[in-house]
Chains A and B, each alone.
Chain A
Amino acid sequence: MASDKVLSLNGLSKRFGSVVANNDVSLTLNKGEVLALLGENGAGKTTLMNMLFGHYLPDEGSVEVADESGALRALPLGHPQAAIAAGVGMVHQHFTLAENLNALDNIVMGSENLRALHRNRRAAAEKIQTIMTRSGLSAPLDVPVGRLSVGERQRVEILKALYRDVRILVLDEPTAVLTPQEADTLFENIGAMARDGLSVIFISHKLREVLAFSHRIAVLRHGANVGEIATADADERTIARMMVGADTERTERSAMEPGAPVLSLRDIRVPGRSERDTLEIPELDVCGNEIVGIAGVSGNGQAALAGVISGTVQPQSGTIEIGGKTLHDFSPTAMIGAGVGRIPEDRHHDGIVGSMSVAENMVIERLDDEEVQKNGLLRREAIVRNAERLTEAYDVRGPGVQAPARLLSGGNIQKLILARVFEQMPSLILANQPTRGLDMGAAAEVARRLLEARARGAGIILISEDLDEVLGLADRILVIHDGKLGTAPSRDRESIGLMMAGEMA
């Protein structure tokens, strides 16, 4: 690992209205170094990288990037083209690929003149082949990207950056959608490229991969750089403390005897667009006092499973029993009526109506309730009182119960949903990615509430891509792959990871 600087961020600050996203952050990166940028959600990691890449214009500070000769030069701010020209490449958390084009077109798109591309396809393909051999990243070039797996798409994204001859590669949460094995392979490839001289910054909040694959760790908290540490000197505890500023308590889960089944699915089939995302469940039972964890890489049928239990997806065939009663109607209303509490995966899209008030969002699932309405008219005082009580009890912080729900932060939106769901004392709870995007404090609160519901007798289905979360909370772990459920043979991440990748251990 050479020690010559290739990148220097000097005192970058960025404010969005009254929110300080980054405050005087300085950071350097050396040639051939893999730097992990760590921090809770909302700590300002992505904002910082977006300033480097020119998507955001910093309020203060400057960016310097080494040129070919190794001398640091100031980068014009706010110009992604300048960043690309200076050899900075960024792979975003959400893929930016055109699904109907093949990998080759996606890779060269934007960096080649379209007419020239037509003549030079072969040259481009050869260049990509060279990059693939050198980096160890491979993906089929002639298949529409829409048909590639998530891991392959990720590699196409990285190849797209490498194709532009980047010297500095920024990866924003590259493993969020990968299986543990895919993630390991990716990092091995990154390590190899770093030895070749590529400098890499990757954003993550998975402590394990940060410790395993980076050279140096920089931690952001509340928009400020609170410390850097050589990975060799770090362990999970020190980093976690740096991230949250204090020791975190692990949620304690006591053993419990499962009760009577609260949910029984039989022969459920939900056709998908392909065989791969067709959900088929011959049999699934969830009992009271039990948390059933469903691990798996996203896009393997979780959405269909969650949809069936939420009542938003009508299965083609099969039966569903809740609390011993067979349901004949699959609507959300029927599910709510049967005592199912639903925490949706995309809380902004399915969980709240952002422009309506916090108070209104608290009662949106029980508009026929006598507490909420009388003769078709809203009981507004009761609605506000209900919201005041629940925001207090569930510690929902924000500008007040009359304010639009979209003004709440992600964690507080999730608490709003928890309050709405848990107050109805559901006998079955569907928690779909309940802690995704939440900071540690809010995530711990979600875990505590789920365990509390379990203790009072509820059955819980926990769908999560975060294996650590499933391992920490679930009494029983199932793995979903290609729309089919399998029981994990043991609680070790190796075998579960293999099942997630489709290899039945």
Chain B
Amino acid sequence: MIRIEPRQDSGPLLRYGVPVLSAVVALALAAIPLASAGANVVTAYGEMFSGVFGSIFAFSEMLTRATPLIFTGLAAAVAFRARLWNIGAEGQLYLGAMAAIAVGTGLFDIPGIFLLPLIILCGAAAGAAGMALPTFLRTRFGADEVVTTLLLNFIILIFLQMMLEGPIKDPMGLGWPQSPPILDQGMLPTLIDRMRVHSGLVLAIVAAVIAQFMLVRSVWGFRLRAVGENASAARHAGIGVNRLLFSVAIVSGALAGLAGVSEVAGLKGYLTADLSPGFGYTGIVVAMLAGLSPAGVVLSALFIASVFVGADSMSRAMGVSSYLADLVVSMSLLCVLVGGFFARFRIVRTRVSAGGA
């Protein structure tokens, strides 16, 4: 007979080993549909690998894809650590992007050097506002933020579509529902010539480092961890739980807003309603895969971006569907959840004494 017992304490090997192993197992499991689609598994994974590491360009594409995922991953990680379930990073991303367009397309007559900082600030503020509202509804009326943040995503997206058809529609856009482009001074500079990877990546990594530092070393991080792990004890110890949740909401929403800024001002230059292929939702997977650690978010965003970019390249080369990338990402998440279970519990085999005295 098999029994499940909680582990006393999961050591560092388990804590760091489980996500890595989960990723490997997910790739191994993805070989099954790949093979059944008639592809040679070894060649396919070879294509996938070279699609990420095969050239500077491929690698830079992966970094470009990882940039918004780091932001949204951080947004989820910071909020989830405080048990504030922000499922609305997708909507906050678009809010950030809209704010960037609003101030970045020549609305204000300000010196060019201030334009980019203003765009970043306004994008972060818009994202923060997008998370502050559901948090207010939770702390004031007890409305479940999972529901409110999730539903706000759709509201914001529809609002964006309305705006793109009207007030912020580019008159020069040949009738396409897209915004006018951000002024050149408002763009995040690219990092390498003739590549798309831009300084949003630097911003994202700096944000991750700051988040990690704040979580571990600051009083705010202490309070956040206490509220997330045991809100009742935190309240008893005099930590203002609602106030803390608000500050977390601001930070989380701002990070998601920055994802939008980085995509608009770093990559696309203008805003459309398909700016994000679900970066906000994928950010949740990124955060979970990272065990909600901000530093880990960078690594897991790189992994997931690799899978996406690699799978794209593989599907082009082999003619298999690029949905395989979604499959690997979903299976990584499942594997992490299962792996997390094994990190917390051990399976014990016991001999059944069949009632014999």
The interface of chain A, by Cβ under 8 A from chain B, is: 10, 16-18, 57-59, 62, 64, 74-78, 310-312, 331-333, 335-336, 342, 344, 349-356, 360, 364-365, 367-368, 372-373, 376-378, 380, 403-404, 407
Contact = CB atoms under 8 A, between A and B. Distances in A.
Interface string B228-241: 01101111111110
Interface in B303-357: 350, 352-357
Contacts of B236: 310, 312, 332, 342, 344, 350-351
B193 interface: no
A75 B353 CA distance: 10
B9 interface: yes
Interface residues of B, number: 33
27 contacts: A17-B8, A62-B353, A62-B356, A64-B357, A310-B236, A311-B238, A331-B240, A332-B235, A332-B237, A344-B236, A349-B233, A350-B233, A352-B230, A353-B233, A355-B229, A355-B230, A364-B234, A364-B239, A365-B237, A367-B222, A367-B239, A376-B219, A377-B217, A378-B217, A378-B219, A378-B221, A378-B222
A312 to B, nearest CB: 6
A430 B251 CA distance: 37
B229 A353 contact: yes
B8 A18 contact: yes
Contact of B355 (A76, A331, A353, A360): A76
Contacts, number: 100
Nearest to A365: B237
A354 B357 contact: no
Secondary structure at the A interface, as helix, strand, loop or mixed, is: loop
Interface string B199-213: 000000000000000
Contacts of B354: 76
Contacts of B7: 17
Most-contacted residue by chain B among A16, A76, A378, A404 (CB, 10 A):
A378
A100 to B, nearest CB: 21
Interface in B240-254: 240
B3 interface: yes
B222 A360 contact: yes
Contact of A373 (B219, B226, B350): B219
A354 B355 contact: no
Given A17-B8, A376-B218, A364 B353 contact: no
Contacts of B350: 57, 59
Contacts of A351: 233, 236
Interface string B274-291: 000000000000000000
Nearest to B346: A17
Contacts of B237: 332, 364-365
Given A17-B8, A76-B354, A365-B237, A356 B225 contact: yes
A365 B233 contact: no
B159 interface: no
B347 to A, nearest CB: 14
B229 A356 contact: yes
A452 B298 CA distance: 53
B226 A356 contact: yes
Contacts of B1: 57, 78
A385 B29 CA distance: 49
A322 to B, nearest CB: 15
B223 interface: yes
B184 interface: no
